[in-house]
Amino acid sequence: MKKSEESYIGWLKLYNRLNLSEVGLKNAVLGEMKQSGLPVPPGFFLTTEAFEEVLGYNNIKDRIHGILSRLNPDQLEAMDQASQDIRKMIEFNGIPSELESLIINRYHFFSQHHSEETEMPVSVRASPVIQDRADMFLGGLFESFPWVKGGGVIPSVLKCWMSLFSPMALKTFLKSGISLGKISISVCIQQFVNIKSAGSIFTVNREDQDATKIIIEGNWGFGERPFTGDDEGDHWLLDKSTLEIIESEIRAKKREHIVDPERGALLQVEVDPDRQAIPCLNHDEVVEIAKLGRVIELHFGKVEEIEWAVERNSPFPENIFLLQCRLGDR
């Protein structure tokens, strides 16, 4: 490898928004939350330098840029083909052996210090980095793997890197006027949380933009929100100053997302009838999550959405974790 180990890999708790060019906004905010003592699961980052090392391996970077330079956002078929060609190239090229060993060794060290297992389950998540626009948040376009162990770590990391060149990502970059020569990607490898329920915190009332209120939404399982109507999940409105619950709406939660450990993917399943009308949070959990939302808003200023999760087997309040924070315009 051309640079020091620290250039390619580092602990989540050591990064913040001063490191946008290394880990991107999504990961930098996650690291800053961890630094601030907030309940973020531990983990480590692969920086943009690690991705650049992969692109430099066998000199595939120039070949990729050659393909990208010919793209037109209106030529969807050509874009799909370019995406397929680039992702196959990255997958076939693989990772330099020294870098792969570095990732595997860090994963095993991490496992031994945070679990009784030599190969603990982790979540693997991508964070894009745009030169000159490093504070730009691009959510939902890139791969995320919620349950990965051992030999699955390297393939998951590769898929995260490859997702930078998905058809939707390429179209978004081109439509936004982002030079494809200025894009890179970081990956977060983080302790897996065995989630019982999950959802979002909004530090303003989205209906009337009342900044004196906090909204918490949640559902059983991993908090995916593809549902409408009666399946939207539970809803709480709190006074931001007193943390008093002003209103709560407990809805019929008919479906949830759970992890399939064999595939490391989320499955949508039916919720048992006797759980559908039970709140996915108790009173103390609602208040504690709102309190965390208030702390995050005070730290960052305006925030758009905060993702929370309740771990299945831990006691309160150690069972509450924060998984992501999207910053709003300031």
Same domain, 237 and 179: no
Residues 6+ apart with CB under 8 A from 92: none
Same domain, 176 and 109: yes
Same domain, 161 and 262: no
Report the domain count for the chain.
2
- Looking up residue 281, the CATH number of its domain turns out to be 3.30.470.20
Same domain, 83 and 29: yes
Same domain, 138 and 61: yes
pLDDT digits (tens, 9 = 90+) for 252-272: 999 999 988 777 778 999 999
Same domain, 180 and 277: no
Does the pTM exceed 0.85?
Answer: yes
Same domain, 89 and 51: yes
Same domain, 143 and 232: no
Please report the DSSP string for 245-297 in residue order.
Answer: EEEEE-----EEEEEETTTTEEEEEEPPHHHHTS-SS-HHHHHHHHHHHHHHH
pLDDT digits (tens, 9 = 90+) for 165-214: 999 899 888 888 887 778 899 999 999 999 999 999 999 998 899 999 99
pLDDT digits (tens, 9 = 90+) for 138-167: 666 788 899 999 999 999 999 999 999 999
Domain-terminating residue out of 191, 224, 239:
191
* Structural domain range at position 96: 5-191
